Structure 1
């Protein structure tokens, strides 16, 4: 006798528990990428450190994230996803507590590295667990869950950081993570399913690790320096990073499934096109949301907290579209929603190319709300496309690879738009040296010229995002349902 079991189409209790644990654990790690940015001046003053030293509080965290992500696939296979989730969360919690207790700039930078090691594993491990548990029929909704922390980070980070600095000391920028991470640890121990798949015979690809992790770190470091002071070593770092990464690609293709990262996942059309789309999209969007607070502060004279609040409409727009986007992706596929979302974001970016020193703030907030509506459609749909037709065993490699691509893209987008803005400030404002401090000094007397530098930079964001539409169009239509298992 043959029986047919229908694939689950809704979030059963086990998947809901998993989604809750992943979202709670991931939200603070992603938030930490932006919450500290508003405190650079405060930290430099309290520690008596120069800007070139204190900027490592941000850079060290990003570098640690980049160097840790490549080992995700191996550690999941070797130790199990639940085990690595608990270890990663514990490392992030410990790093947060130590950062809050830091007594000097070097100690804070060292503890930020510990935070980054834990944070670098959390997102890809959580995403891999959700993808495996959800299966193809619920992938859109699962990716909507994992997208929530990424959506909230650029919105809540500056707001929360500004509020904490207004009422408490900088120490609480890190201590605020502790109760959330502790709660996530308790829930993970109780709710996550036990590890079932462990490949104890797998050996870590040490040569691949020695090529890729330093290569990514050098790339991210070089990109972070592009908009900084001249002669900071950006070209050398980027060249070294690109060379190491290229050597890793050659090595990985030779080793195949034994490589640290199996790049054969790019043979899957859905993965390759969705990853390409999110590369251009993420580069443009993150560059945009870094420039917007600067526009509010330099030209409009808004405080750090108010600038963060003025970014919030993007999050509100994403909240509207993200939940239905997951369900619609599961029903109709990724391509249509992804293309529609990117077009909405492009429309918002086009509107920002027309801003000046007197553009009404409500209008700017409305445009950002539209960008948020598009963002809420793009992330779940394109993230679900990563796994369209992907074998279960390849999910960790696909997750790790997509996370690396997006992280490099965000660094590239911020760096490119920072360079463009600096060049336009230097060219458009008489006597300006192109730095943000100088732009702030000229902000009142040359508001029109400074605003023109920003609007011109937004044209670059629009140009960077445009290829994302073409890549999204090439994502395959939703595949036919997989045959039901037979007993």
Structure 2
């Protein structure tokens, strides 16, 4: 069984082989969490039919997960700091296994939505606990870069792997296994966690819990994510959309005010206030806006326009995880020498190039000539971006705050994904309508209008990748050694602008 680290000790000083086994366990849990955001995408029509879910309610198979996940992340991260990272990690694994079984065995829509919501709640415990465990387990710069490379590859490629796995399970087993598969995986990770993940003992605390901060930020994030979700259906100027967004912004503003005055804040404001970390969090918000929407549009393109089966559509995404694995490995080797800033800038530029290439997609184009090269470019860019973001987000964060810093990174990515899906879906629908009105007499109008709408969305997505370039270039400033060794040198965070 895992040994217990004394209070204030760095758990990373365990046996070297055990550290790498622990990395495997942590990476497996992260993969499971990321997969579940997309694994039901291809199987959704089959589940909708079997459970008699209406068209107006089908989006809750996706939204129930992301909404609760995004809303509870900061609270989950702080619980990891207060209660213990390993303990929260184990609770998350057990809960995720049970919630996945509930959703996979659902007999009606209500049971399905409840299971997906519970998955999101336990994912909000798992994700920040996993990244903070990684941060305190690997403190030697070379090992730390490799570990973050593995973790970042999983984080960036997991969404595409979810589409591949979902396609295979839907075609050869059942849509239910897209959810049930998590239960044995979570239990396997649980066994590994008990064996290899070192117990951390939280530092003694004084003062009470920041209940007002926890309530306002959780409700604020849920309102923001839900508001962007409603925008995709009701439009940006609908009362439901504007009301939710206004309430969400007001609650987040109240949260900031509470944190400034709190003696024991849920989110110490110096965490996003330090210039390097602030750049990482902002990049983590921008990059998924393009990436997650791209997965959605390509999924429609493969299955509707090209007529691919579920399995073939899933396999068409294979270049993403393959390219990300390669680029993340290269990045982890280069990171200690060059630091994250130049590597992340190169990654963002590759993302821009890939989406601009993809935006040239036309009616009758082939996958090999028009989609594959763009996938490779984007995938090669994702590795440096995710490795860099996850490294810098924990730059000089003290051990007792690593859970909430990890949660803030995950929250930025979840909100970015929700924003991207809603924003680019709305833009694409409007583009398709405009194209159809202006080309009413051409052949295959619906297919051509759909492809045109995807191209417009890809152009907009490229703009968000481009916006990340100055953020990275001007906000991530410290020398490579400072950024990579920040967890080891014990330096306190730099307070900037807070």
TM-score normalised by structure 1 residue count: 0.90
> What is the aligned partner in structure 2 of residue 471 from structure 1?
471
> What is the aligned partner in structure 1 of residue 231 from structure 2?
226
Alpha-carbon shift at residue 198 of structure 1 (Å): 4.1
Q: Identify the match of residue 374 of structure 1 among 367, 375, 381.
A: 381
> What is the aligned partner in structure 1 of residue 428 from structure 2?
421
> What is the aligned partner in structure 2 of residue 438 from structure 1?
none
RMSD of aligned residue pairs (Cα, Å):
2.5
Q: Identify the match of residue 185 of structure 1 among 172, 190, 198.
A: 190
> What is the aligned partner in structure 1 of residue 457 from structure 2?
457
Structure 1 pair 232/156, CA: closer, same or farther in 2 (3 Å)?
farther
Structure 1 pair 68/432, CA: closer, same or farther in 2 (3 Å)?
farther
Q: Identify the match of residue 213 of structure 1 among 201, 218, 221.
A: 218
The 8 Å contact of residues 157 and 325 in structure 2, kept in 1 or not, is answered as no
The 8 Å contact of residues 299 and 443 in structure 1, kept in 2 or not, is answered as no
Alpha-carbon shift at residue 366 of structure 1 (Å): 2.0
The 8 Å contact of residues 153 and 386 in structure 2, kept in 1 or not, is answered as no
The 8 Å contact of residues 327 and 384 in structure 2, kept in 1 or not, is answered as yes
SS in 2 for 1:228: helix
> What is the aligned partner in structure 1 of residue 116 from structure 2?
112
The CA distance in 2 between the partners of 1:261 and 1:213, in whole Å, is 12
The 8 Å contact of residues 23 and 148 in structure 1, kept in 2 or not, is answered as no
Residue 75 (str. 1) matches residue 65 (str. 2): no
Q: Which runs of 5+ in 1 are unaligned?
A: 1-7, 434-441
Structure 1 pair 335/121, CA: closer, same or farther in 2 (3 Å)?
same
The CA distance in 1 between the partners of 2:129 and 2:158, in whole Å, is 19
CA shift digits 1:328-365 (9 cap, x unpaired): 11232111111111111111011112111122211211
The 8 Å contact of residues 31 and 149 in structure 1, kept in 2 or not, is answered as no
Structure 1 pair 484/97, CA: closer, same or farther in 2 (3 Å)?
closer
- Mean alpha-carbon deviation: is it higher for 53-62 or for 211-220? 53-62
> What is the aligned partner in structure 2 of residue 320 from structure 1?
326
Alpha-carbon shift at residue 409 of structure 1 (Å): 1.0
TM-score normalised by structure 2 residue count: 0.88
Q: Identify the match of residue 196 of structure 1 among 201, 205, 211.
A: 201
- Mean alpha-carbon deviation: is it higher for 323-332 or for 402-411? 323-332
Alignment coverage as a number of residue pairs? 469
Alpha-carbon shift at residue 307 of structure 1 (Å): 2.3
> What is the aligned partner in structure 1 of residue 394 from structure 2?
387
Residue 407 (str. 1) matches residue 407 (str. 2): no
The CA distance in 1 between the partners of 2:37 and 2:448, in whole Å, is 32
The CA distance in 2 between the partners of 1:172 and 1:81, in whole Å, is 29
CA shift digits 1:370-397 (9 cap, x unpaired): 2111111211122111223333333223
Alpha-carbon shift at residue 104 of structure 1 (Å): 1.3
Alpha-carbon shift at residue 271 of structure 1 (Å): 0.2
The CA distance in 2 between the partners of 1:60 and 1:419, in whole Å, is 20
Structure 1 pair 198/51, CA: closer, same or farther in 2 (3 Å)?
farther
> What is the aligned partner in structure 1 of residue 152 from structure 2?
147
> What is the aligned partner in structure 1 of residue 242 from structure 2?
235
Q: Identify the match of residue 279 of structure 1 among 281, 285, 310.
A: 285
The CA distance in 2 between the partners of 1:52 and 1:322, in whole Å, is 39
Alpha-carbon shift at residue 234 of structure 1 (Å): 2.0
Residue 269 (str. 1) matches residue 275 (str. 2): yes
The CA distance in 1 between the partners of 2:56 and 2:430, in whole Å, is 21
Alpha-carbon shift at residue 431 of structure 1 (Å): 9.6
The CA distance in 1 between the partners of 2:207 and 2:32, in whole Å, is 32
> What is the aligned partner in structure 1 of residue 103 from structure 2?
99
> What is the aligned partner in structure 2 of residue 436 from structure 1?
none
> What is the aligned partner in structure 2 of residue 176 from structure 1?
181
Residue 162 (str. 1) matches residue 167 (str. 2): yes
Structure 1 pair 455/431, CA: closer, same or farther in 2 (3 Å)?
closer
The 8 Å contact of residues 43 and 170 in structure 2, kept in 1 or not, is answered as yes
Q: Identify the match of residue 315 of structure 2 among 291, 300, 309.
A: 309
> What is the aligned partner in structure 2 of residue 253 from structure 1?
260
Q: Identify the match of residue 294 of structure 1 among 297, 300, 307.
A: 300
The 8 Å contact of residues 66 and 414 in structure 2, kept in 1 or not, is answered as no
The 8 Å contact of residues 311 and 365 in structure 1, kept in 2 or not, is answered as no
